[in-house]
Structure 1
Amino acid sequence: MSSSTPLTVGFVGLGHMGGPMAANLVKAGHRVRGYDLVAESLEAAEAAGVEPAASAADAATGADVVVTMLPAGRHVLALYRDEGLLAAAAPGTLFVDCSTIDVADARAAHEAAVAAGHQALDAPVSGGVAGAEAGTLTFMAGGGEAEFARAEPLLAVMGKKTVHCGGPGAGQAAKICNNMILGISMIAVSEAFVLGESLGLSHQALFDVASTASGQCWSLTSNCPVPGPVPASPANRDYRPGFAAPLMAKDLGLAADALRASGIDSAFGIEAAKRYAEYAAGAGATEDFSGIIREIRETITERNETAS
């Protein structure tokens, strides 16, 4: 399968991430038949050239490849096992799940697909909505070499980098490890800016130093949590996501579960999961994950007021 070979792709889950991904496949010349439970998402995808399907199973019928982008593992497994997605597809169809889910769920989905006579790959993404729209996502793939080789041309249309991380579930493992780093680093960067504010240091001065020194990281240079230094960061748009805080809370929750199951003592990972869960349940419900800096400021203010 080369990138120039037109394929029929079934795409289930056409939200903020899946919609632009499907649209990029259409732009590359592939026939995409898509389905989403939300009518507005389906309509937006149709406007981008995606053929609307009557159901998820209908989207899979006659497809060479079926891509899913869903909220959680239970949704993937329900589609695969209970809602006819696997049964609707022709034998040997490649199922590529781009959702971010638990490693155990990814392996269970892989086993279900293989048992039904198909091929499967877990391929979660990094890059957010902007990356989905621009086709610059990073894919972390888990599955066999043959499955990866078959999927890679399609993934290359939707992203700029694809890494084969290992066997089934390895893509999900890489994703939760990566996002644990991201969540912890955003908290660290946010706390540093709040500390700088208390010491009379301007945001720009701290950015100019840290962005070219040992404190440099993506949370600082691409998604800076304060307005000004990085014009494209959500901080300049009142923290409109971006990468929504509830999604970060979900990913860190998966990481925390994996840490506990593995018996790893990771105080930072567990604490980051706790803080993002609290933030996402409150003010961060509709904000970018970098907006946690406001939660940090408010916590400090409350403590100072209590102390005084």
Structure 2
Amino acid sequence: MKTVAFIGLGNMGIPMTRNLVEAGFEVIGYDLSAAALETAVGHGVKRAVSAAEAAAAADVVISMLPTGEHVRNAYLGPSGLIETSRPGTLLMDSSTISSTVTVELAAAARAAGRRMIDAPVSGGTPRARSGTLTFMVGGDASDVDDAQPLLEAMGQRIFHVGVSGAGHTTKLCNNVLSGICMAGTAEALALGVANGLDPAILSEVMRNSSGSNYALERYHPFPGLMDGVPSANNFAGGFRSDFQLKDMRLAKELANSSRVFSAMGNLACELFALHCSNGHAAEDYSSIIKLAMDLDQYFAGHPVSGGESK
């Protein structure tokens, strides 16, 4: 069984490592946060004192980091993952970053005798916990095949979408659409509530009509209507709004460089920028509903006692 080094134990990394351990992999973890590392150790991850130590002992290195600069520094910086991993090691970045960085890192890895794929994920923390993530993978087919057992331990749907960088391009396309859909869903709910509609009934109608989307089905932004999602936990523990904004800005840059008209993506990007500047950057991206309506005022007149999964 392969030994896996996992670098980055945040809201996504912790449940992903737990699923790897439960699937029988030996996992060595590292994170700058001592609390995050302690949580991972609690479900069977072996503690490393540095990313370099973890990589040196592993057959596969997986990174899940916030930004492209973090990823570049982790792989190319002093005592980076490329340098400290063994020749032939499979490197897999599951962060969401620019495909330009991915191509750069993959070339550096090949030059050093390592292999690299980009494998960003979709599904958020609920699917990370349940092991049902969707992986969008770029890289050589043989390397993707080699990673298949690990991907299947963490995910339900694995798509090989092309060469190095294609995984991250696919993820940016997905995330800009996800942001547009979440902002639009929040706006529709706010419009209905402002005109006297019950958000639960409105949601059920839209779920069974042409407005149905992932936010309504699996990641509802309105508190009290769905269990196990960030809106049921004061918008904590999910995909931060500033990370969503980062991804949408990357998508905007890609659209500009590709000469693709992206009016809705650009508008949604500005909405998330405003939402973050209003003090909600650390909250889950579904909290964009706060930009459309005053939840505190609503619940002052409509107290609820708990969520109901739909």
Q: TM-score, normalised by structure 2?
A: 0.90
Report the more deviating stretch, 93-102 or 283-292: 283-292
Matches within 5 A, 1:37-48: 37-48=32-43
Report the more deviating stretch, 287-296 or 151-160: 287-296
Partner of 1:71: 66
The answer as to whether partners of 2:126 and 2:229 remain within 8 angstroms in 1 is: no
Partner of 1:305: none
SS in 2 for 1:54: coil
The answer as to whether partners of 2:41 and 2:47 remain within 8 angstroms in 1 is: yes
Note if 1:53 corresponds to 2:48. Answer: yes
Note if 1:282 corresponds to 2:282. Answer: no
Amino acid at match of 2:68: G
Q: CA separation in 2, counterparts of 1:239 and 1:41?
A: 19
Note if 1:143 corresponds to 2:149. Answer: no
Partner of 1:88: 84
Match for 2:153 among 153, 157, 173? Answer: 157
Identity %: 42
Note if 1:134 corresponds to 2:120. Answer: no
The answer as to whether partners of 1:126 and 1:139 remain within 8 angstroms in 2 is: yes
Query: Displacement, 1:236?
Result: 3.0
Query: Displacement, 1:158?
Result: 0.8
Amino acid at match of 2:29: G
SS in 2 for 1:33: strand
The answer as to whether partners of 1:57 and 1:83 remain within 8 angstroms in 2 is: no
Partner of 1:304: none
Match for 2:93 among 93, 97, 102? Answer: 97
Summarize the Cα distance change of 1:236–1:82 in structure 2 as closer, same or farther, 3 Å threshold: closer
Query: Displacement, 1:171?
Result: 0.5
Note if 1:16 corresponds to 2:11. Answer: yes
The answer as to whether partners of 1:228 and 1:236 remain within 8 angstroms in 2 is: yes
Q: CA separation in 1, counterparts of 2:10 and 2:183?
A: 27
Note if 1:35 corresponds to 2:27. Answer: no
User: Structure 1 stretches (4+) deviating beyond 4 angstroms?
Assistant: none
Q: CA separation in 2, counterparts of 1:210 and 1:87?
A: 52
Partner of 1:116: 112
The answer as to whether partners of 1:80 and 1:112 remain within 8 angstroms in 2 is: no
Count of aligned pairs: 294
Partner of 1:306: none
Deviations 1:217-263 (A, max 9, x none): 11122222223443444333332242221221111111111111111
Query: Displacement, 1:174?
Result: 0.8
* Structure 2: runs of 5 or more not aligned: 298-310
The answer as to whether partners of 2:11 and 2:238 remain within 8 angstroms in 1 is: no
Report the more deviating stretch, 218-227 or 161-170: 218-227
Note if 1:26 corresponds to 2:24. Answer: no
Summarize the Cα distance change of 1:215–1:11 in structure 2 as closer, same or farther, 3 Å threshold: same
Matches within 5 A, 1:212-291: 212-291=208-287
Query: Displacement, 1:104?
Result: 0.4
SS in 1 for 2:183: helix
Partner of 1:189: 185
Note if 1:202 corresponds to 2:198. Answer: yes
Q: TM-score, normalised by structure 1?
A: 0.91
The answer as to whether partners of 1:122 and 1:143 remain within 8 angstroms in 2 is: yes
Report the more deviating stretch, 25-34 or 209-218: 25-34
Query: Displacement, 1:73?
Result: 1.2
Q: CA RMSD in A?
A: 1.6
Partner of 1:179: 175
Summarize the Cα distance change of 1:237–1:20 in structure 2 as closer, same or farther, 3 Å threshold: closer
Report the more deviating stretch, 224-233 or 175-184: 224-233
Report the more deviating stretch, 39-48 or 280-289: 280-289
Query: Displacement, 1:197?
Result: 2.1
Summarize the Cα distance change of 1:264–1:157 in structure 2 as closer, same or farther, 3 Å threshold: same
Query: Displacement, 1:60?
Result: 0.8
